[in-house]
Structure 1
Amino acid sequence: MRGHIGAAVLGLICALSLTGCSGASVTSGAATAPARPGDNSSTTSPGASRPTATPPTAATRAHLADATVNVAEGAHVGVGMPISVTFKRPIPEPERADVERLLKVTANPGVTGAWAWIKDRNLHDGQRVDFRPESYWKPGTKVSLTAGPSIARSFTVARSLVATVDVRSHTMTVVRDGEATRTIPITAGGPGYDTWNGTMVVSDKQRRVYMDSRTVDIADSYQGWYSYAVHLTTSGTYLHENDRANTLAGRSNVTHGCIGLASDGTARGFYEQVIPGDVIRVTNSKDTVAAGNGYGDWNLSWSEWRSRSAL
């Protein structure tokens, strides 16, 4: 279903000051290539501003003290996972640049990336800011975040997994580390319940999840438990086991917006394979998922993304 099920996805703010394993920092001007072979210094997006030497205000520090980061310490994530921080209260526009300047990302190997203020579906404007590279993280990248004295996180980008769902052909092709591993029959949203188009990122997964369509005012109401649920959006899009897929996957679209897999072990196998940060791309559907509906960050062009920074 496309309505709201589950908790709001978290968000994050960070300054556009990134350092690589060499310790060099690039904070302004156009994106910079490594100075020599083996130099892994990270780079920033064009137009990034150099952090000022002005000490952060008490208000800025208070914002960070209440912030929550989406990635756990020591986590292994997929190549599509943005760094995202949410704030307890909306950050006023005049204060957003100061907050960004306190947030620093270290990546090895280095990346070109930027922060963007995202209007989360379940939050007020100014409560979420995300960092993503210009393109997906490379597998094996080591990433660290510091946000003033309050926040420190380190995580690793695992192998690459990108699954492409073709709503028209009722199939999902799974590509792992650049190689197609299998094509799976699926059933997607039926007429009037179209599955979101575009790129979504796995936020979490649950062995069983309870869905209640009454929470999103769907006329064709239903309630029940669903197994092997891979969570894609805060509006309630999942990829999960669906008994109707046993006969209809690969043939027609009959769900309320979720992506259904057969209960013959197909759903379980995919569930066991994916991790948070893996990428699910939906093609040949209608409306594109919004950036703030889960981690829809990759649906913005790079220029659109950079324009959302406060710096």
Structure 2
Amino acid sequence: MTTGTGSTGSWGAGGAGRRRLGRAWGAAAVCALALAGCSARAVADGSGGTGAGVDAGAKPAVTTTVNPTPKPTSTPLKSLAGARVNIADGQTVGVGMPISVTFDHVIPAAERADVERQLKVSADVEGSWSWIKDRNLLDGQRVDFRPRTYWKPGTAVTVRAGAGITRHFTVGRSLVATVDVRTHSMTVEKAGSTRRVPITAGAPGMDTWNGTMVVSDKATKVFMNSQTVGYGDAYADYYYYAVHLTTSGTYLHQNPKANTYAGHQNVTHGCIGLATDGTAKSFYDEVIPGDVVTVVGSKDTVAVGNGYGDWNLSWEQWRAGSALA
């Protein structure tokens, strides 16, 4: 965790920031995407950003193949004003990216079904909306759409929210990384190929979150400060090739300690560390927002609202979060 320049959050010197700080993620302000956490700020290009918080828009309403057109209310709800969509128009995302709509005000429970009816996702997929308690927002300010299983590569998606808000995006190649903290390794499955990468994760007592996280954004340079996550003066420095995973501050980034400990021991403050020999940069270069990173063998599953933790709920649990269920 840390505080940096630009991208919100990172745990700090290889630390996923105080994972204890909470699991519900909340994109900064109304940005459904900013999974900041370790109080870090991205400084360099921040390439790969999800467009979080920049797109106003909303989402589809149902759970079906090529979602049927919801019956709009006679007058668009005022509650859709101030809505933002986490995916930019024309963007290409990974197979795990949920469509996340946030609002600048709380949507009362009695109005949520009507809001969902004005959100439409057009795609050949079975999916559903679900209201999420975002880490940095109030209950009723975030609703996400997620397929039953990961998006199929190549899927073209159109999102419409009420009248006048439309977003088109495409699902790119599949990249799913599985980090096993017990073997200190990460298996990367990308477009049919598989490789294994040595890593170092959170040390005992500063364990990396368990469960599935989705890349929200990335930055070549992030300043991480341990004071922002309760670790005193443990670190305050820039870290490179940082892939953002949770709002509470979990990053997968380059860490000099990985040169010695990757593949052998977990020594970070919660983040996932990769060596400086080109390993970190190589992973950084190929990752896009929406790619999936699942951690196994650790403790405490990341909360649904702590970044994009949507995939940590079963399909039945996910659907139950819809006001139309």
Say whether 1:227 aligns with 2:240.
Answer: yes
2:187 aligns with one of 168, 173, 178: 173
Code of the residue aligned with 2:90 in structure 1: it is G
Paired positions, count = 279
- Mapped contact 2:27–2:134 kept (Cα < 8 A): no
After TM superposition, give the deviation of residue 122 of structure 1 in Å: 0.6
Superposition map of 1:61-140 within 5 A: 62-107=78-123, 110-140=124-154
Q: Gaps (5+ residues) in structure 2?
A: 1-15, 34-56
CA distance in 2, matches of 1:295, 1:6: 9
Code of the residue aligned with 1:42 in structure 2: it is V
Code of the residue aligned with 1:188 in structure 2: it is A
Say whether 1:10 aligns with 2:32.
Answer: yes
CA distance in 1, matches of 2:200, 2:118: 45
Q: What secondary structure, in the 3-state scheme, does the structure 2 residue paired with 1:243 have?
A: coil
After TM superposition, give the deviation of residue 127 of structure 1 in Å: 0.5
Code of the residue aligned with 1:123 in structure 2: it is L
Superposition map of 1:107-256 within 5 A: 107=123, 110-180=124-194, 182-219=195-232, 221-256=234-269
CA distance in 1, matches of 2:241, 2:107: 37
After TM superposition, give the deviation of residue 2 of structure 1 in Å: 2.9
Q: TM-score, normalised by structure 1?
A: 0.85
CA distance in 1, matches of 2:58, 2:315: 18
After TM superposition, give the deviation of residue 120 of structure 1 in Å: 0.4
Structure-2 residue corresponding to 1:305:
318
Q: 1:73 to 1:13 in 2, by over 3 A?
A: closer
Code of the residue aligned with 1:162 in structure 2: it is V
Q: Gaps (5+ residues) in structure 1?
A: 19-30, 32-40, 45-49
Structure-2 residue corresponding to 1:293:
306
Q: Percent identity?
A: 63
CA distance in 1, matches of 2:126, 2:291: 20
- Mapped contact 1:65–1:150 kept (Cα < 8 A): no
Structure-1 residue corresponding to 2:66:
42
After TM superposition, give the deviation of residue 191 of structure 1 in Å: 1.0
After TM superposition, give the deviation of residue 43 of structure 1 in Å: 5.0
CA distance in 1, matches of 2:152, 2:312: 19
Code of the residue aligned with 1:159 in structure 2: it is R
Structure-2 residue corresponding to 1:22:
none
Q: What secondary structure, in the 3-state scheme, does the structure 1 residue paired with 2:282 have?
A: helix
CA distance in 1, matches of 2:158, 2:60: 13
Q: TM-score, normalised by structure 2?
A: 0.81
After TM superposition, give the deviation of residue 178 of structure 1 in Å: 3.3
- Mapped contact 1:90–1:126 kept (Cα < 8 A): yes
Code of the residue aligned with 2:204 in structure 1: it is P
Structure-1 residue corresponding to 2:75:
56
Say whether 1:258 aligns with 2:277.
Answer: no
After TM superposition, give the deviation of residue 51 of structure 1 in Å: 4.0
After TM superposition, give the deviation of residue 7 of structure 1 in Å: 5.3
Q: Deviations over 1:91-141 (max 9, x none)?
A: 11001111110011111xx11100000000011000000000000000000
Q: Deviations over 1:177-212 (max 9, x none)?
A: 2331x1000000001100000000000000101111
Structure-2 residue corresponding to 1:281:
294
After TM superposition, give the deviation of residue 52 of structure 1 in Å: 4.3
Backbone CA RMSD of aligned residues = 2.0
- Mapped contact 2:26–2:135 kept (Cα < 8 A): no
- Mapped contact 2:107–2:141 kept (Cα < 8 A): yes
Q: Which has the higher contact order (CA 8 A, sep 6+)?
A: 2
Code of the residue aligned with 2:75 in structure 1: it is P
Q: What secondary structure, in the 3-state scheme, does the structure 2 residue paired with 1:287 have?
A: strand
CA distance in 1, matches of 2:207, 2:292: 19
